[in-house]
Structures are given as structure tokens and as C-alpha cells.
Structure 1
Amino acid sequence: MGIKEWVVPQDKVFFDLFDRMARTVVSAADMLVEFIENFERIENIKEQCRTMKEIEHEGDEIAHQIYEQLNLTFITPLEPEEISRLASALDDILDYIDGTMQQMYSYGITETDNSMIELAKLIQLSVIEIERAVNGIRNIKNPHQIEERCIEVNRLENVADNVLGHAIMDLFKTKDAITIIKLKDVYENLEIATDKCEDAANVLSDIAIRHS
């Protein structure tokens, strides 16, 4: 990297990387919904999980590029801590999406239910809002639009809390202890993914406020 690139803020580089990472998270959430909705009809679940792992690795690579660029750049378009927190938050969402699918495979889950589908769709809706908010930080002309996206993610997380609560209540009406343990873990990991979406939204909200 030359002296000009070291001194001049690398706005485009960071924002391009964040846009790519947000798209990767949306792709993972789309695949999660398709996976859970069509679970009983999937011929090769292991192959689907392998594809998701590739998406998760792609996200890891983008996050690595963000951290590497952060170490190389003297003047950044956002605070270094903001860049690091946002990269970490987006990566966490990917980890939980991937982790849930791998868990379903390793647990030998044989069927999905409405609670799983609803939680997966809440993740999908959340990351769509997050992607729009990420796109908005490139040139913050209207921080209120970013704030609205973040508020919606917070609302969706509250809905996910309710879905989880009802799912576990219904689950404990069953008698099979092993099934209870397996499904409870899956429900909770899906809900944690919505928590991670809320974490990312909080970082984006902070960025919008600080740079407005």
C-alpha cells in the first residue's frame, strides 16, 4: 500500500466489504429458510450443510479482509472500534445460522415444525433490514432511515422471543426427553441468531447517530 492509500480514508474499501458481507448474511438466511421449509423433501441434507459451511467460510474471509484493511489504514471512514464491532456482529449472525443447520444434521433431526420456520423467517427479515442499513452507512444523508431499519430488527427480535417461549411450552408437553433436548437446542440457536441480528442493528444505530 502506498503512502496515499495509507493516509487518505479508504471509504470505498470498507463499505464495499461491508456490503459484500451483508449480502453473504442474507444469502445464508435465505438458504436457512429454504432448508427448514423443505427439510423433509431434501435428498442430501449433508450436502446442503456443506454448502452453508462454504457461505460461512466466505463470510469469515470477508471479515478477515476487513480486519486486515483496518490494520493497514491510518484514517478510516468510521471509528476503528465501529468497524471491528460491525464485522464481528455480522460474522456472529452467520455463525449461528450455519451452526443451527450443522446442529440439525448432527442431531439427526427428521422433521421441522412451524416454530422453526417462523424463527428462520424472522432471521431472514432481520438480515434484510440489516443489509439495507449497512448499505445506508456508506453515505449517511438520512440517519433516520437507518434508525428505522434498526428499530424493525429490534421488533423482530422481540417477536422471536415470543415464538421461542411458545415453542418451548409446547415442547415440554411431549414425553420424549431426547427430542425435547434436541429441539430445544435448535429453537434456542435460531433465537440467538435474532439476538445477534439485534446486536448488529445496535452497532449500526450507534454509527448512524455518531456520524449524522
Structure 2
Amino acid sequence: MIGSKKTDPFFASLLNIAKNVQEATHYADDFRIQTVADLKEISVKVKNYETAGDKLIHELIVMLNKSFMTPIEREDILQLAVRMDDILDGVDDFTANLEMFSLIEIDDSMRTFLGYIVKSTDEIVKAMELLAQKKLLKMHENSVLIKDYERKCDEVLRSSIKQLFLNEKDPIRIIQFKDIYEKLEEVADYCQNVATTIEAIIMRNA
């Protein structure tokens, strides 16, 4: 089913979804929170990315419903889109919880999580660019890197929670920070889900 050199509109749509997710994660990582007002600003901006992502997903679904032929299975296209959107929802949840807790202290663990998540979304964009070029086998390299970043996030979660219980005496702050760490690790899991979907697409179409 994959043949012509012209970029397929479905692959172009997936790439747009991936780029929106990438922009959102880069924004969250680059933003420097100093005041409670900053928490509102980052939360609103990420929510805008999430809303834009929902619009892109809707447009893709409309296109799927109208099309008789798709370059790969329509279920794979939709699953890939939805799993990328999960990342955006997770980042939105993370920033919303920062605002809810009025938590302006972004510690090293959070920065490390965000760094790996950003790298994962960079790899997702690269994979979608390869998909648009119909270079499916090369996407495997991106998938491997994403899974490695998720594994590193698992290690960060374990070490950060251990240090939290060792050093923090305030039970409220323990609950807040633990919740944030777990939400960030969940975003890394969503990135891994994208990698798993990519692998399935390669297996069925390459």
C-alpha cells in the first residue's frame, strides 16, 4: 500500500500532531517558573497546545471517515495519533497539578524527567518524518531511543521518590512531589506507547 513519492495527507497529519506535541513539551521544559502567576501562564499555554491537538485529531478522524483508501491500516493511523495525544494530555495534567498545588519549585528530578520526555518527542517527530517519506525501517532507531528514555525515567522515579522520603519532612509536600514525579513518569510511558505502535506499524508494513 505504500508506494508513491508524494507525501500522503494522513502521514502529513500525523507529523503535524507530533510537532504540536513536541512544541508543547519543549515549551514546558524551557519555561522557568518563578512565581505563582507563572504557574497560571504555563498551564494556560499548555492547555492551548492540548486544545490544538484535539483539533488535529478531529481533523484526522474526519479524513479517515471520508477516505476509502489509507496508506496503512486506519486503526494504526488512529492509534498512533491518539497515543501521541496522550503525551499532550499528560503534560497538560502535569502543569495543571503544578498550578493546583501552587508548586513553583521545579527540582532537578522534574527537569530530568522533562529532558527525557523532550528527547522522546523529538524522536517521535523524526519517526513521523520518516513515515512521511515512507522509510519505515529507519523508524526502528527512533523507537529504540524512546524506549531507552522511558527506562531512564523509571530510574529517575525510583531515585527521586527515595530521596523525597529521606529528605522531606512535610507530609503534604511528600504527597505533592510524589504525585508530580509519577505524572511525569506516566508521560514517559505514553511516549513508550507511541514507540510500541511504531514498531507494530513497521512489522505490518515494512
What TM bracket, shorter-length normalisation?
over 0.9
In the TM superposition, residue 42 of structure 1 has moved relative to its aligned partner by 7.8
Which residue type is aligned with residue 148 of structure 1?
A: E
Q: Summarize the alignment of residues 1-12 of structure 1 with structure 2, pairs less than 5 Å apart.
A: 12=8
Closer/same/farther in 2, CA of residues 27 and 42 from structure 1, 3 Å limit: farther
- Cα distance, 1:99 vs structure 2: 0.9
For residue 150 of structure 1, the aligned residue among 143, 149, 153 is 143
With 169-178 and 111-120 compared, the bigger mean Cα shift is at 169-178
User: Per-residue CA shift, 1:112-159, capped at 9, x if unaligned?
Assistant: 11000000000000000011001111233351x210110000000000
Secondary structure of the structure 2 residue equivalent to 1:172 = helix
- How far is the alpha carbon of 1:12 from its aligned partner? 2.3
Alignment counterpart, residue 67 of structure 2, candidates 39, 64, 73: 73
Divergent runs of 4+, >4 A: none
> What do the CA deviations read for 1:8-65 (whole angstroms, capped 9, x no partner)?
xx96221111111110010011011113xx2226853212211111111000110111
Structure 2 length as normaliser, TM-score? Answer: 0.92
Conserved 8 A contact 2:39-2:95: no
CA distance in 2, matches of 1:69, 1:209: 25
Residue matched to 2:3: none
Residue ranges of structure 1 left out of the alignment (5+ in a row): 1-9
Find the aligned partners of 2:38 and 2:154 in 1 and give their Cα distance: 31
Q: Which runs of 5+ in 2 are unaligned?
A: 1-5
CA distance in 1, matches of 2:205, 2:134: 7
Contact 1:134 1:204 in 2 (8 A): no
Matched, 1:33 2:33: no
Contact 2:36 2:99 in 1 (8 A): no
Identity of aligned residues (%): 31
Q: TM-score, normalised by structure 1?
A: 0.90
* Structure 2 residue 156 is matched with structure 1 residue 160: no
The answer to whether the Cα contact below 8 Å between 1:96 and 1:189 also exists between their aligned partners in 2 is: yes
Counting matched residue pairs gives 200
Q: Please state if 1:58 is matched with 2:52.
A: yes
> Match for residue 99 of structure 1?
93
Q: Indicate which of 8, 13, 16 corresponds to 1:17.
A: 13
